[in-house]
Amino acid sequence: MPGEVKEIEKSGKTIEEAVEIALAELGIKREDAEIEILTEGNKGLFGIIGSRAAKVRVKENKRPEKIMRAFLDEVFNAMGIEADIEINLNEDQYYVSFKGKDLGILIGRRGDTLDALQYLVSLMVNRQVEKRVKIILDVEEYRRRREETLIRLAERLSEKVRRTKKNVVLEPMNPQERRVIHTALQDDASVFTFSQGNEPFRKVVISLKK
């Protein structure tokens, strides 16, 4: 079943032999395995009497990076896209960036395709790892450029609220983009922000402080 962690117990004349047998049967490499020694094993008297085989338990260690690459390679092959994938880990957050030609198709309208792909990658990874991880996908720094655009938008609209003394309701945004607006104006002495509506049509409202 997808996401099922593979685990097996194997015996051998030595621990190394038992591990190699288990790895071969699981079809994984040593760096992708978690190995537990159950019995050390011994040759016994004269190598015959009282001899005991070594026994190990080998469990596939699902690495987020490996899952991401395998899934994204499959998606890109299906879409006919050639892109370099770079994965960086910062504490418990993975930042996955793509570089290549004509990658606008991965962004979509205002990042909707990129958001959908990010959701699918996060779902695929977190179904297969024990500790939940956060994953951010980006195409040639689109996220950074979009964030800068949203910050400028927030500043411009907050000025409009101060001038007209009327609320301004922004277009529907995903949680990440709404957070950028909230953060940009959280220290503003004249206005405050809040969200209204239901996903995926939830919007940020900028309002004048009383």
Total number of domains constituting the chain: 3
Same domain for 92 and 79, yes or no, is yes
What's the whole-number mean pLDDT along residues 59-84? 88
Same domain for 159 and 129, yes or no, is no
Q: What Cα–Cα distance (Å) separates residue 162 from each residue in 149, 151, 170, 183, 190?
A: 20, 17, 16, 18, 7
Last residue of a domain, one of 122, 140, 158: 140
Residue 55 lies in a domain: yes
Domain that holds residue 22: 7-60
Could you read off the pLDDT of 138-186 as tens digits, one per residue?
998 898 899 999 999 999 999 999 999 999 999 998 888 999 999 999 9
Give me the pLDDT at residue 152, please: 96
Same domain for 102 and 76, yes or no, is yes
What's the whole-number mean pLDDT along residues 33-48? 67
41 CB burial (10 A radius; 0-12, 13-18, 19+):
buried
CA–centroid distance for 90 within its chain: 12
Q: Is the pTM of this model over 0.75?
A: no
Using DSSP, state whether 156 is helix, strand or coil.
helix
Give me the pLDDT at residue 50, please: 46
**CATH number of the domain that residue 191 is part of:** 3.30.1370.50
Same domain for 104 and 158, yes or no, is no
Same domain for 43 and 56, yes or no, is yes
What's the whole-number mean pLDDT along residues 90-108? 87
Same domain for 56 and 100, yes or no, is no
Query: Comparing C-alpha atoms, which of 132, 121, 77, 79 is closest to residue 97?
Result: 121
Same domain for 123 and 150, yes or no, is no
Same domain for 24 and 85, yes or no, is no
Same domain for 109 and 153, yes or no, is no
Same domain for 73 and 130, yes or no, is yes
Give me the pLDDT at residue 108, please: 84
Same domain for 79 and 112, yes or no, is yes
Same domain for 130 and 168, yes or no, is no
Residue 2 lies in a domain: no
